Chain A
Amino acid sequence: MSAGNAEPASGVRREGEATESAADLSAVPAIQAKNVWKIFGSKTSHYARLLKSGEELDPDSIHGTAAVVNASFEVKRGETFVVMGLSGSGKSTLLRTLNGLNPATAGDVLINGQALTGVSKQELRRIRRDELSMVFQHFALLPHKTVLDNVAYGLEVRGVDRKSRYETAMRWIERVDLTGNEGYYPDQLSGGMRQRVGLARALAAETDILLMDEAFSALDPLIRADLQQQLLDLQQELGKTIVFITHDLNEAMRLGDRIAIMKSGRIVQLGTTTEILYSPADDYVRRFIHDVDRSRVLTAGMVVDKTAPTFKPDESAEEVCRRLEAAGHTAGSVLEGGKVLGVVHLRNVRSATGTIREVMNTAEPVGRYTPIAELFSRAAEQIEPLAIMDRDGTLLGLLSQDRMLDSMSGSDTSGGHA
């Protein structure tokens, strides 16, 4: 099911995107990686020739280290794409092939449709300046510059004059809740604050693509959860294309629309949270999902039942009861003018005589991105399923208590993920 994909708010477009190339760009994936290899060692150029001539290469037999083995994927515009793996699995190297910090040994990387391989140094710098920005694991803030100058760095490199780059930087400092700290130096800030500076620096560069290399891994758990939330909030509004590297599957599933799981340089599985949870590709992936807190990574939108019938508030209870029984459902939603009014349960309409308006449960619908964990107490208070709505307020479907519990178990028994 595709409900796991948090599509970007199509209404939210950055002003910078309204340039001449906006129309053709939106058709191209933000990032494409085609058969990317990265080999470290003394015989790299030899292997590069082999691979280019189309020969098969066994990564276990080579001299040197194959950090990335034949990786292919596309990152859609506005998508949060998470690469997850243990240390040494090649995930950071893969990220660095995307902006050429570690140029791919073989294969193609395309940023907004333009290949990185074979471009001139100047062109590579332009792509890094205008189309990609990066957040680092250990922040990589410039110790001799203030927070303000650090955040403005991307713009400074681009040649933006001091006044307007400070204005932009201040806006982003405010967005990451660091107002008042712009005059400090990085070593005066706590770890969480430093990484917010790192995030603001990347955002202030106003590129469409954000590369985040284990950006939250060096932070303690509470701060990390804060920053994850902050990133999710920002992303809801900005709709950037994000490639996020992590070794924590909980983090991957919380943030990612799609997740690539890497092992020894290979992508062993690529899919949405639900795809990975319910149909792990192999034992390696299965071992990871063992530790995942499903109630926190699964959201209402991922397990919602979209097949439940809908009714109008003025329909008679008798009629609704008949239709529910005929369709084999126990509950349905009540809509008026496209808005969700409430939810009716078979047990209540059976004994009722008037319209269903009188027996429906009018509890507030739930947003699709709400983690299941936050819904249990609400669900326990009522017999009707919860109404789940999309970001724009339209009804997405219903989520019953049974379905919620099913989603917590290992297998995909709820049937909605096909």
Chain B
Amino acid sequence: MFDPINPDIPVGEWIADGIDVLTDAWAGFFDVVEEVLATLHEQLLSILAGPPYWVMMIVFAAIAYLVGSHRSSLKIGKTSVPVLVGSWRLALFSLIGFYVIRGMDVWEHAMDTIALVIVAVALALLIAIPLGILASKVTWVSRVLRPILDLMQTMPALVYLVPAITIFGVGVVPGAIATVIFAMPPGVRLTELALRQVDEELVEAGQAFGATGWRILWQIQVPVAMKTIMAGVNQVIMLALSMVVLAGMAGAGGLGGDVVGSLASLNVPLGMSAGMAVVIIAIWLDRVSNGLSDRRPRTKKAPTTGPDDADESSEQTEHAEQGAA
């Protein structure tokens, strides 16, 4: 019988029972998930770790340069050559950073970790963004989601690993799943917030011209909200990276594995190297994902005199159009 003075509320056991039931009932589904995630990770890893390190180094630097770049033109003599103007500083950082990772002899594990982050982030966004859109449209979905998201975010992340391992066994997949659960909430929250913050008059403008709800969503709300949504994406990426180290405990390998291993064997150099590699990857991912959200430099103002300054405005028009592309 239940004793109200010395209460016995075995929440943990209930959840564990629930997970057991889930594992049995959805075994087929979990097998498919495991298969898909493991394959994705493997493929990605072979792409990232396959080529010589200096090729990948240049690729990372190129991504860093191109993300957030805008088209412009360079005048050489009389001909103007279209060029992309990006951040050369970020590109230089990428070159040096990934060179150091290679120098610390954790290249393979770093690629492993990047592959895991990409898989986890992709899955997290695939769930988070539609959920965020739904929550912004349907009030009760938002109300139901809020406490669930709170729970997902505040529960000590390690706790997810245990049931994930019991379901998927030791390896990459439980790490990825735990990462997805932990990293997803800001994606949902910021997507919902971003869409709710879109000026009501803009939505009305779409309605007043007879646009459908979908058209308003994709052509007005999502583009206008993009900056905030991308801030959410950035958060998801950073949280995922912080989590993949813990995923090392589930046997996911990569830099997380190195950190866990160094802890067990008190190997300071290995731990420090892996830690530094995580920091470099984190900075790179952060800047690159920020660059994605902010791509249109629009510093020039239109001439207030308008139609009279034909020369000047046509030049600026070109600039503006290029920015849009």
Contacts and interface: CB of A to CB of B under 8 A. Distances in A.
A185 B298 contact: yes
Contacts of A182: 317
A193 B302 contact: yes
Contact of B224 (A132, A137, A144, A180): A144
A125 B205 contact: no
B317 A101 contact: no
Contacts of A128: 207-210
A136 B202 CA distance: 9
Contact of A140 (B201, B212, B226, B318): B201
Contact of B310 (A138, A180, A183, A188): A180
B210 A126 contact: yes
Interface stretch (A62-70, A153-161, A304-312): A153-161
Interface in A184-205: 184-185, 187-190, 193, 205
A180 B306 contact: yes
Interface string A281-316: 000000000000000000000000000000000000
A143 B201 contact: no
Listed residue (A125, A127, A180) with the most chain B CB atoms within 10 angstroms of its CB = A180
Nearest to B304: A190
B314 A143 contact: no
Listed residue (A126, A140, A189) with the most chain B CB atoms within 10 angstroms of its CB = A140
Contacts of A177: 306-307
Nearest to B226: A144
A140 B317 contact: no
B208 A146 contact: no
B298 A187 contact: yes
Contact of A157 (B202, B210, B298, B324): B210
A401 interface: no
B208 to A, nearest CB: 4
A136 B201 contact: yes
A125 B301 CA distance: 36
Given A182-B317, A184-B302, A184-B317, A142 B209 contact: no
A190 B226 CA distance: 24
Contacts, number: 106
Contact of A180 (B199, B207, B219, B309): B309
Nearest to B216: A157
Listed residue (A134, A137, A144, A177) with the most chain B CB atoms within 10 angstroms of its CB = A144
A62 B223 CA distance: 41
Nearest to B210: A129
A183 B317 contact: yes
A138 B298 CA distance: 21
Nearest to A138: B201
B313 A143 contact: no
A99 interface: yes
A185 B304 CA distance: 14
Nearest to A155: B209
A99 B313 contact: no
Given A140-B202, A142-B224, A188 B208 contact: no
A133 B324 contact: no
B58 interface: no
Interface of A: 99, 101, 125-130, 132-134, 136-138, 140-144, 146, 153-154, 157-158, 177-185, 187-190, 193, 205, 211
Interface of B: 199, 201-202, 204-212, 215, 219-220, 223-224, 226, 296, 298, 300-302, 304, 306-307, 309-310, 313-314, 316-321, 323-324
7 contacts: A128-B210, A140-B202, A142-B220, A153-B209, A184-B317, A185-B324, A205-B209
Given A140-B199, A157-B215, A185-B323, 7 more contacts: A129-B209, A132-B208, A142-B219, A144-B224, A146-B324, A180-B317, A181-B313
